[in-house]
Amino acid sequence: MVLTGAGMSAESGLRTFREMGGLWEEYDVTEVATPEAWERDPELVQRFYNERRKQLLESEPNKGHRGLAGLEKYFDVQIITQNVDDLHERAGNSKVLHLHGELRKARSSADPNLVYEIEGWELKMGDSCEKGSQLRPHVVWFGEPVPAMVEAAQIASEADIFVVVGSSLNVYPAAGLIGYAPQNASLWLIDPENVMAPVNRHVEIIQEKAGKGVELLTRRLLDKYGK
């Protein structure tokens, strides 16, 4: 299983959140990514996500995404991503679970089960679900539950190999998933910075960007597992 974060898509030109120049330096997270923000100023929230969606439509999967898709030749790969982009799917990974939602989808603000694909980049005030309620971005905001965690924890608890790529591991519950990996699973972390995994166990560190890091990881896994 591969847990990915914003760093996974950095080489596709999408900005991370917590680094210098990251999105949370330019925007106040409480003004664009919380249920209270949506109550207070939905136009601002829509603008923020419309801008992200526009950029996503102009972006392509990078070498790291393609490398993880290539791993499916040798392993049963399950991606669990904190990213709301669709670059893993576009790179060709067949099993992708989104923990924090999907930027190219909208959902009803009255009924969370009504989820729709967004045509193009723009979601507007006045766009509504079939029951007439305003559509909101299909993303998990701070302070909201993470419904996919139950499935993610189950997958993590059955992993033989657990890899983290491009996440500062600051945001829970996602960051805690590594703690669910079985004792005999091998743990790997790819990040150009010195990220600490919240486990008291050996973690193989590949201190590289995603593109180069996934290439090195693939070589080492093929060696280790004799493929």
Contact set with ligand APR (CB under 6 A) = 5-7, 10-11, 16-19, 22, 82, 100, 166-168, 170-171, 191-193, 195, 209-210
Residue type present at position 213? G
| CA dist., res. 207 & res. 191, Å (int) | 5
Cβ proximity to ligand APR, 23 vs 129, nearer residue: 23
Cβ proximity to ligand APR, 6 vs 155, nearer residue: 6
Q: Is 100 an active-site residue?
A: yes
Nearest-approach distance from CB 37 to ligand APR, in angstroms = 13
Nearest-approach distance from CB 206 to ligand APR, in angstroms = 10
Cβ proximity to ligand APR, 106 vs 174, nearer residue: 174
The counts of H helices and E strands in the chain are 8, 9
Q: Determine contact, residues 2/68, Cβ cutoff 8 Å.
A: yes
Across the chain, the runs of DSSP E, i.e. the strands, are: 2-4, 79-81, 96-98, 101-108, 115-117, 135-139, 161-165, 186-190, 204-206
Cβ proximity to ligand APR, 61 vs 129, nearer residue: 61
Nearest-approach distance from CB 184 to ligand APR, in angstroms = 26
| CA dist., res. 43 & res. 40, Å (int) | 9
Contacts of 48 (CB under 8 A, 6+ apart): 27, 32, 33
Of 98, 100, 138, 202, the catalytic one is: 100
Nearest-approach distance from CB 110 to ligand APR, in angstroms = 23
Q: Determine contact, residues 9/85, Cβ cutoff 8 Å.
A: yes
Q: Which residues are catalytic?
A: 100
